[in-house]
Structure 1
Amino acid sequence: LMQKTLFYLVCLVKSCWSIFVSKIMQFLLFNTSCLFC
């Protein structure tokens, strides 16, 4: 049971992290493109 919970947590963290990273990347891309406007 503990192992399954841990696995679930790791998956949750990974998905949250990937969403977070993609948001940051979009934000940075937007900002750098605006710098060159």
Structure 2
Amino acid sequence: MKFSLSSLFFHYETALEKIQFNMTNIYKSLTVAQKLTLT
């Protein structure tokens, strides 16, 4: 039981990290697009 819980938590953490990474990439591309449209 302990092992399955820890593995689930690990997968949850890595998924959160991936989501965070994707969000930062989206935010960066959005800011770049805004700069391009403003100029």
Q: TM-score, normalised by structure 1?
A: 0.82
2-structure distance, mates of 1:20, 1:12: 12
- 1:13 corresponds in structure 2 to 8
Unmatched tracts of structure 1, length 5 or more: 1-5
Structure 1 or 2, whichever has the larger Rg, is 2
| 1:25 shift after superposition | 0.3
What is the Cα deviation at residue 11 of structure 1?
Answer: 0.4
Q: Displacement, 1:15?
A: 0.4
- TM-score between the two structures when normalised by the length of structure 2: 0.78
Count of residue pairs the alignment pairs up = 32
Identity of aligned residues (%): 9
Question: How big is the alpha-carbon RMSD for the aligned residues of Structure 1 and Structure 2?
Answer: 0.4
Moved >4 Å (runs of 4+)? none
- Report deviation, 1:10: 0.5
